[in-house]
Structure 1
Amino acid sequence: MRKYPIGLQDFGNLRKEGFLYIDKTRLIYNLIDLGKYYFLSRPRRFGKSLLLSTIKEIFNGKKELFEGLWIYDQWNWEQRHPVIHLRFSQIDYKGLGLTAAISRELDFLAAEFGIQLREEDSLALKFRELIREVAKIGHVVILIDEYDKPITDYLEDIEMVEENRSVFKNFYSVLKDADEYIRLLLITGVSRFTKVSIFSDLNNLYDISLNPHYAALTGVTQEEMETSFAKEIVLLQQKQPDILGKLKEWYNGYSWDGTTRVYNPFSLLSYMGSGRIQNFWYQTGTPTWLVNLMKKQKVFDLENIHMGENALSNFNIEHLSPVPVLFQTGYLTIKNYNEETRLFELGYPNREVEESLTDALLSAYRNVFPGNDSMELTFDLANAMKNNDMSQMVKVLDVLLSTIPYDHRKAESESIFHIIVHLSFKRLGMDVRSEVHSASGRCDVLVFTKKYIYALELKLNGTAQAALNQIINKGYLHSYQLDPRKKIAIGINFSSGKRAVEEFLVEEFA
């Protein structure tokens, strides 16, 4: 058994205690050698804190910690720089308020350098004084971790968001005129929304979040995974020959340039520590407000989304748009980038995220919490689809739909049924598409399996015959006539009075 740094964020402790470290020092060297002011956005549990801790030890000249790593004989270890390391996850902004919490943290940091800051100064003046006094030792390295946490923790409290944002804007304004004192500034967080509203004065801040050169700065590439875990893989393959494919399906797939793909480091390390494929990352803190936001705006189909960089970077507190939030928080990733249109194609990064988020959405729409029955029901649905058992499929959909609250059924007409049916198939990892356009209309739901293509039309308080006729008359399956798979049209009518599937009709095509 090796020691895996699951949740470990301190580079010095990691190296001294003999934990596994996946060498990122070549990329780090390029980062600190080629520039000065950086901003990096990555999802939670993706190695941002460890990255900053590693940079801190480089500038502290702790050469012994880097023995065996790429940078060991590439760096001038005699040239040291003082490091101001601000970690917003560790300050008590909830108990003290943001201003008081930052002020206290600045005092702690100053004490590390033997500096006494003036208590009567404003927050900005204290920060400026700290930078200038520390710079007497040498050009300062400023590392700011989770800069946005005091804002993202209050996304359901706009007044608190605005208050903390105002504090931050004043606090960070000091950095604009501190160029002569700074060797390196690196700010990390999850969101990119405050880059404009908080760092508007800091116009030389280089956002490398989508820069292809730093796409693998955090996360674990396939090559790194197979090299770092070579011994484990040999043992795992003896029990499960296809384990590499399984791990890739479940935990790989994150990309910030559309080309380089990385594993979620927390999930990969957690798997290596347990030897069991399961949900790791999602369980560490998916906010309820995000699922509720998706439900409120009826966002449920998260594949083949196309968006430009400006829209992708948007995180407007007053008018939150789910897709940019989902991307920045790690529930969506870049699948491809079109150089000509300059549009990014987004989708789920891997099965872990897809299955977990779909399950949470399905529970939210059905008003069933914590949704423990979803796995059992969707397993039954999978068997029905596999065996082309339409009666069983409809029975499962009937149970899934029967829990919809009355106010949803009354207010949202057919849309709520459409969404739940889509999510039910998506929960199985199936290729499911909604509102698919044809020459004469839009099919509610299309489901593709190895042997079948299913077209489903859903009616509320109508007739199954009308639903079936719509599929046939509007040629929803016509586009797939050359496909060798069997085509099946299914018309379903749901009665709001009975809260049940009232009838369904099926017609097969060769």
Structure 2
Amino acid sequence: MKRLPIGIQTFSELVDPDENYVYVDKTREIRDLALSGKYFFLSRPRRFGKSVLISTLCELFGGNQGLFKGLYIEDKWNWDTRHPVIKISFGGGDFGSEKRFEESLFEVLSDNAEKLQVECGKTIKRPNSCFRQLIKEAWKKTGQKVVILIDEYDKPILDFITEKEQARLNRDKLKSFYGIIKEMDEYIRFVFITGVSKFSKLNLFSGLNNLRDITLNPTFSTLCGYTHREVGEAFGEYLEGVDLEKLREWYNGYNYFGEPLYNPFDILLFLAENKEYRPYWWSTGNPSFLIDLLKDQLRYLPDLENCIVDDFVLDAFDVDFIDIVALLWQTGYLTFDSKFERLGTIFYKLKVPNREIQISLNVLFLDYFTNLRKEHLGLRSTLYDALLKGDMKLIQENIQRLFDSIPYQNYANAIIQHYEGYYASVIYAYFASLGLPLAVEESSNKGRVDMTIILPQKVYVIEFKVDQPGRALNQIKAKGYHKKHLGNGRDVYLVGISFSSQERNIEEFDWELIES
């Protein structure tokens, strides 16, 4: 049985027969990319295979034919031409000051100069000048145009995204550095830049205006990540006894308008850790920045998981303005559901990609909203059992306890305690953290109900109000929000919840049962 390549980001090691790793062949897509243009940009979430892609491109353009034996591209590439490759990764440097930024970048460029056996920086100590010299000297030495590969291009900015002054400084340094590429166009064969975020071209790549963004291009949608077919073919020996539909539900769902994708890290860890369903990818990062942004951008939480945006929102990401929806998408906590055109503008509908993110993201929100971190598991388990049994008294008590746990300072904004969306957001996060199938603002012919929970034997149709006792349940019945669920063999519970802005908790919990 082949080994699982956990943490392996070097192509030569991945395909080494002595190492005997599972390798998912992406060279068909890579060949299409390499032959279709010159300047490319790709944004993908962390641990999605970007560094392996960079390493593969490095060996391909370097002409290392032996590494590609048995792969799609083996007999479909001109191995006679070997290009000098400059590979820059911002993954390991120190960018906390202008001096350390320049030192880190200069060190990376010097390493490239040493590998290419050219001089760079003996008399020129500034990174931009060194980069310019490195490109020209590599071209002179080999007689071939240069390939430039940049990994984690945005890390010097993202590492300081909550420290605006340093983030701006690093952005401006990078903008100047990337501008060298356009200046040296005549010496360049191919440029590929990748990272997590999709910073505004205007603010970071204005000097490189011929950069082609393939982030949402269906042709290149599977360059990184695993398709369901690839998982089955490459990891078949490991998948014995695995419920493939459950695997898909938990980890598949990333969509860039091609086939839905798995994050490779999830698949590898799932197979290595006794095939237990856990939030492997989520656990490797610390998305606390999301909470900081939520504080600044008060949003109705369910809207974040079922929203519609246009290109202007997705492309407006910058240090001075970070739209939380754009950030959630770029970092992998939201993905695309569909797209459509209206009045000459393309709109995108977003969704949570899979169960791992649904549960983990909402647990994170609950940790922010409440002081129940240590008690979450017990409370969530009790709530789940109560929903399955239709124990309305226990459901009410459980929700009341949830709101009792919210610190006073969370209501410091005087507006928030009157904001219906806040209370709905807390309950939504609570239910969603159970992995329940939720429909938010589900439509009927007379309007939208706030929340619907659909279980195998029961349906809960829920409406929220603030300081309006008696209205929530009446609205459900008057507008017939529940009628679409009748006659489907499930008991239907109509639940009206009114909150008191003064007490900051439930003041009325009304419900009716319509048995199947």
What TM-score do the two structures reach when normalised by structure 2? Answer: 0.90
State the shift of 1:388 in Å: 1.2
Q: What code does the residue aligned with 1:129 have?
A: Q
The change in CA–CA distance for 1:64 and 1:336 in structure 2 (over 3 A counts) is: same
| Cα drift, residue 79 of structure 1 | 1.4
Equivalence for 1:376? 378
The gaps in structure 1 that reach 5 residues or longer are none
Provide the identity percentage.
39
Kindly provide the amino acid, as one letter, of the partner of residue 10 in structure 2: D
Q: Tell me the equivalent position of 1:49.
A: 51
Give me the whole-angstrom Cα distance separating, in 2, the residues matched to 1:470 and 1:509: 16
Contact 2:300 2:422 in 1 (8 A): no
**Partner residue, 1:269:** 268
- Counterpart in 2 of 1:254? 254
Q: Which residue of 1 aligns with 2:320?
A: 318
Please say if 1:229 is aligned against 2:235: yes
Whole-Å Cα distance in 1 between the matches of residues 426 and 21 of structure 2? 44
- After superposition, the Cα gap between the structure-2 partners of 1:450 and 1:159, relative to the gap in structure 1 and judged at 3 Å, is same
Contact 1:299 1:322 in 2 (8 A): no
Equivalent in the alignment of 1:182 = 188
Given that residues 408 and 416 in structure 1 are in contact (C-alpha distance below 8 angstroms), is that contact kept between their aligned partners in structure 2? no
Who is 2:209 aligned against?
203
AA aligned to 2:396 is: V
| Residues 1:443 and 1:339: Cα distance change in structure 2 (over 3 Å) | closer
| Amino acid paired to 2:473 | L
Please say if 1:168 is aligned against 2:168. no
Larger mean Cα displacement after TM superposition, 187-196 or 129-138: 187-196
For residue 456 of structure 1, report the CA deviation from its aligned partner.
Answer: 2.6
1:146 corresponds to: 152
The residue type paired with residue 298 of structure 1 is R
Q: Within the alignment, does 1:469 sit opposite 2:474 as a pair? A: yes
- C-alpha separation between the residues in 2 aligned to 1:455 and 1:277? 29
Contact 2:9 2:52 in 1 (8 A): yes
Contact 2:95–2:170 under 8 Å retained in 1? no
**Is it true that 1:107 corresponds to 2:110 in the alignment?**
yes
> Larger deviation: 17-26 or 97-106?
97-106
Pick aligned residue for 1:128 from 99, 110, 132? 132
What letter is aligned with 1:135? Answer: W
Matched AA of 1:342:
I
1:123 is displaced (CA, Å) by 2.8
- Give the direction of change, closer, same or farther, for the CA distance of 1:202–1:497 in structure 2 (3 Å limit): closer
Q: 1:38 aligns with which of 23, 37, 40?
A: 40
> Which residue, out of 383, 388, 392, partners 1:390?
392
Aligned to 1:506: 511
Is 1:343 the equivalent of 2:344?
no
RMSD across aligned C-alpha pairs, in angstroms? Answer: 2.4
Alpha-carbon shift at residue 147 of structure 1 (Å): 0.4
Q: How far off its partner does 1:432 sit? A: 2.6
Shift of residue 484, structure 1, vs aligned partner:
5.6
1:132-180 deviations in Å (ceiling 9; x for gaps)? 0011112111000000000011110110111011111111111112221
> Contact 2:328–2:334 at 8 Å: present in 1 too?
yes
Cα distance in 1 for partners of 2:305, 2:453 equals 14
SS in 1 for 2:58: helix
User: Counterparts of 1:43 and 1:310 in 2: how far apart (Å)?
Assistant: 20
Instruction: Give distance in 2, aligned partners of 1:111 and 1:219.
Output: 33
How much has 1:435 moved relative to structure 2? 4.8
User: Structure 1 residues 21, 372: CA separation in 2 closer, same or farther (over 3 Å shift)?
Assistant: farther
SS at match of 1:316: coil
Q: Displacement, 1:109? A: 1.8
Classify the secondary structure of the residue corresponding to 1:90.
Answer: coil
> After superposition, what is the alpha-carbon deviation per residue over 1:431-480, rounded to whole angstroms, capped at 9, x for unaligned?
334455667665443333333332333455664x4443343345443565
> CA separation in 1, counterparts of 2:71 and 2:260?
22
Q: Which range moved further: 96-105 or 326-335? A: 96-105
Describe the superposition over 1:6-61 as per-residue Cα deviations: whole angstroms up to 9, x where unpaired: 12111112222222110001111111112111111100000000001011111222
In 2, Cα distance between equivalents of 1:421 and 1:358 = 10
> What are the Cα deviations for residues 196-231 of structure 1, in whole angstroms up to 9, with x where unaligned?
311112111111110000000000111111110122
Give, in angstroms, the shift of residue 483 of structure 1: 5.8
1:87/1:146 contact within 8 Å kept: yes
Change (3 A) 1:372 1:22: farther
Q: Determine helix, strand or coil for the equivalent of 1:489.
A: strand
2:299 maps to: 298
Residue 452 of structure 2: aligned partner: 446
Amino acid at match of 1:183: R
CA distance, structure 2, for counterparts of residue 250 and residue 263 of structure 1: 9
CA apart distance, 1:391: 1.0
Report the Cα distance in structure 1 between the residues aligned to 2:201 and 2:54, rounded to whole angstroms. 19
Q: 1:145 to 1:161 in 2, by over 3 A?
A: same
Q: Which residue is 1:404 aligned to?
A: 406
Q: Rate the CA distance shift 1:434–1:34 in 2: closer, same or farther, 3 A.
A: closer
The size of the alignment, in residue pairs, is: 500
Deviation at 1:262, TM superposition (A): 1.1
The letter of the residue matching 1:23 is D
Q: CA deviation at 1:125?
A: 2.0
Q: Which residue of 1 aligns with 2:492?
A: 487
Structure 2 residue identity aligned to 1:144: I
Gaps (5+ residues) in structure 2? none
Question: Quick check: 2:203–2:318 contact (8 Å CA) kept in 1?
Answer: no
In structure 2, the residue matched to 1:116 is 119
Q: 1:78 aligns with which of 77, 80, 103?
A: 80
Structure 1 length as normaliser, TM-score? Answer: 0.91
Find the residue that maps to 2:35 and give its secondary structure: helix
Q: Which moved more, 1:423-432 or 1:188-197?
A: 423-432
Partners of 2:300 and 2:425 within 8 A in 1? no
Q: Which moved more, 1:11-20 or 1:200-209?
A: 11-20
**What CA distance in whole angstroms lies between the structure 1 residues aligned with 2:505 and 2:125?**
67
AA paired with 2:6? I
Which moves more between the two structures, 424-433 or 141-150? Answer: 424-433
What is the match of residue 462 of structure 2? 456
Compute the displacement of 1:372 (Å).
3.9
1:331 maps to 333
1:426 corresponds to which of 432, 441, 459: 432
Closer, same or farther: CA 461–335 of 1 in aligned 2, 3 Å = closer
Alignment partner of 1:220 out of 218, 226, 234:
226
In structure 1, how many angstroms separate the alpha carbons of the residues matched to 2:209 and 2:504?
57
Distance 1:49 1:77 in 2: 23
- Match of residue 8 from structure 1: 8
